Structure 1
Amino acid sequence: MYDIVIVGAGTAGLSAAIYAERAGKKALVLEAAAYGGQIINTPDIENYPGIAHISGFDFATGLYNQAKDLGAEIKFEKVLGIETDGNEKIVKTSGGEYRCKAVILATGAKNRPLGLDNEKELVGKGVSYCATCDGMFFRNQPVAVNGGGNTAVEDAEFLANFCSKVYIIHRRDAFRADEKEVERLKAKENVEFILNATVTKLNADDKGLKSIEVTDKNTKEVRTLEVNGLFVAIGQSPDNTAFANVTKLDSKGYIEAGEDLKTGTDGIFTAGDCRTKTVRQLTTAASDGAVAALAACAYIDAL
């Protein structure tokens, strides 16, 4: 019997575990894959208050060790669903089930695919969703980045440092990314902007990606780009369908919750990128974790 079960070992989930343990509650963190979430793919964090520079892996490892040292239990099991039993919650996983008084859902979000034929088969063979993870495989080779947000622009700038050519493809005529980042990318001589266009086809042989076809949204003209790598950065999507019986999801699958992080089911809270929110940053994930943990503790104390 645990006080709080936290689903997800990203920044929000591990922050929640730290605050829960410091409040004297017994916390269990359940994670389907690896701890840290998507931040582990970031080579240099420079926007977290009080820390000028740190790698995403080091940041996540620090959180993980801090939570464990405080007494949090962390198990690597996939959560399959949640049921309520009076004031108790039953969290069912691939390894069994756990009873607790409160649950914090901090499942994060995953990269959104383009949805093209053979895209899944080409992951690891030219298609990637993480430039910092796979970019170095394409040194001195032409690549493309698809997306218009900060991640896409940052990926293109990173790749331009060692790839021979970088195309950045965006379906609109203006970027959602910070203007400062866009201007910095425009200064790169080996970067070409392709706007009002979408990637419509992936061409490959048995060795991997060879080229992509890009279609202009206005003229319908199709252009073939000879690239060995395509980095997809078109946003993220949550995976909360297993919790639809105990939470309300919006049209995109995010858990509906306000700044109090309550889901609408007593004793079930949420935190981080998996919930409806405007800003999804490292600082807001950590903040959510703290708020959700303290709210869960208050709920337990009132039982």
Structure 2
Amino acid sequence: MMKTYDVVVIGAGPGGLTAALYASRANLSVMILDRGIYGGQMNNTAEIENYPGFDSILGPDLSEKMYNSSTRFGADFGYGTVESVEDNGDVKVVHTDDGDYEAKVVIIATGSQYKKIGVPGEEELSGRGVSYCAVCDGAFFKDQDVAVIGGGDSAVEEGVYLTQMAKSVTIIHRRDQLRAQKVLQNRAFKNDKIKFVWNADVKEITSENDKVSGVKYVDKETGEEHVVPAKGAFIYVGIQPMTEPFKNLGILDADGWIDTNENMETKVSGIYAIGDVRKKSLRQIALAVGEGGIAGQEAFNYIQTLGDKVSAK
């Protein structure tokens, strides 16, 4: 049987959990769907130091606190991979690999993920030296040589972070200059532990004994092949929104991001988007929480304009 709710929130990161809190507190029936554990990328963060109310808190601990808060007014939580969302006017149908859900409001909070470079060794050595999170894995490389692939804000910022524990950090970039903000560039250039490799086309993450041993690249100017010795390879070449299931709705831009107005409304009435799926410059927990609060309240306002709710708690 199809399960019916007033609101289905797709994604249980900080934005999705906050949206569920606001919607359920307004006496709407809410289902939070996620393909994994609640908390999203917060679970991959060792310490969070920029969320109001806490000098420092472990990512999993903040996830647990947010989940408990978001479900205390009756919101349900369920596992499932969303395959598509069907817009039937006043009613939406969320299709998952474990059944379908009907609702008048859908809030998309599926987040984004790190892009892969697609070279040999990247997938095979994931968790064995290949990482996309310096905060998560940097401590494993104390007093060792590591490489950072990329030249944007994240690559440079995480490269500087890694110098706190690594012996050396080599930033490998495919261009002849960094794309990061000047303040971050200056910080990196002044750090004696950081070296740079320019105009590099990465070809492979090399290994020894099933662990990362280096990064093989071709110099785009000379055509020569080189290997940067490294025990860890941290990859930061951009992020992409997790919006594949929503292509049929006509709410994505050319790059897959979702545009909304200030009320988090998409082009489709009754469908909202919050957090890292939105096209914006800053992606932070505090910002996702604010957007979640707006979407949760707007869900209530929207349903009131439709008259009787889909279901009553």
Is the Cα contact below 8 Å between 1:247 and 1:263 reproduced in 2?
A: no
Alpha-carbon offset, residue 261 of structure 1: 1.9
Partner Cα separation in structure 2 for residue 106 and residue 180 of structure 1: 31
Deviations 1:133-179 (A, max 9, x none): 22233233211011233432332233222222211223345444454
Letter in structure 2 aligned against 1:10: G
Partner Cα separation in structure 2 for residue 82 and residue 170 of structure 1: 39
Alpha-carbon offset, residue 298 of structure 1: 1.2
| TM-score using structure 1 length | 0.90
Q: Are residues 1:227 and 2:230 paired?
A: yes
Partner Cα separation in structure 2 for residue 280 and residue 92 of structure 1: 28
Q: Are residues 1:134 and 2:137 paired?
A: yes
Give the one of 90, 97, 100 matched to 1:87: 90
Q: Supply the RMSD in Å over aligned alpha carbons.
A: 2.2
Partner Cα separation in structure 2 for residue 55 and residue 150 of structure 1: 23
Equivalent residue number for residue 286 of structure 1 = 289
Which secondary structure does the structure 2 equivalent of 1:266 belong to? coil
Moved more, 143-152 or 24-33: 143-152
Is the Cα contact below 8 Å between 1:147 and 1:233 reproduced in 2?
A: yes
Is the Cα contact below 8 Å between 1:267 and 1:296 reproduced in 2?
A: yes
| TM-score using structure 2 length | 0.88
Equivalent residue number for residue 148 of structure 1 = 151
Letter in structure 2 aligned against 1:193: F
Partner Cα separation in structure 2 for residue 90 and residue 266 of structure 1: 14
Moved more, 207-216 or 61-70: 207-216
Letter in structure 1 aligned against 2:47: D
Is the Cα contact below 8 Å between 2:84 and 2:245 reproduced in 1?
A: yes
Deviations 1:220-247 (A, max 9, x none): 4543211121011122111212111124
Classify 1:233/1:291 alpha carbon distance in 2 versus 1 (closer, same or farther; 3 Å).
same
Letter in structure 2 aligned against 1:242: P
Letter in structure 2 aligned against 1:248: I
Moved more, 119-128 or 180-189: 180-189
Partner Cα separation in structure 1 for residue 128 and residue 19 of structure 2: 37
Deviations 1:34-65 (A, max 9, x none): 22122332333333344433232222222111
- State how 1:1-303 maps to structure 2 within 5 Å: 1-205=4-208, 207-303=210-306
Which secondary structure does the structure 2 equivalent of 1:302 belong to? helix
Is the Cα contact below 8 Å between 2:121 and 2:204 reproduced in 1?
A: no
Moved more, 61-70 or 80-89: 80-89
Classify 1:172/1:89 alpha carbon distance in 2 versus 1 (closer, same or farther; 3 Å).
same
> Structure 2: 5+ residue runs without aligned partners?
307-313
Alpha-carbon offset, residue 187 of structure 1: 4.4
Classify 1:233/1:7 alpha carbon distance in 2 versus 1 (closer, same or farther; 3 Å).
same
Number of equivalenced pairs? 303
Moved more, 88-97 or 42-51: 42-51
Partner Cα separation in structure 2 for residue 138 and residue 53 of structure 1: 23
Is the Cα contact below 8 Å between 1:209 and 1:227 reproduced in 2?
A: yes
Classify 1:184/1:53 alpha carbon distance in 2 versus 1 (closer, same or farther; 3 Å).
farther
Is the Cα contact below 8 Å between 1:257 and 1:270 reproduced in 2?
A: yes
Deviations 1:4-26 (A, max 9, x none): 10000011111111111222212
Moved more, 195-204 or 175-184: 175-184
Alpha-carbon offset, residue 198 of structure 1: 4.0
Percent of residue pairs bearing the same amino acid type: 40
> Structure 1: 5+ residue runs without aligned partners?
none
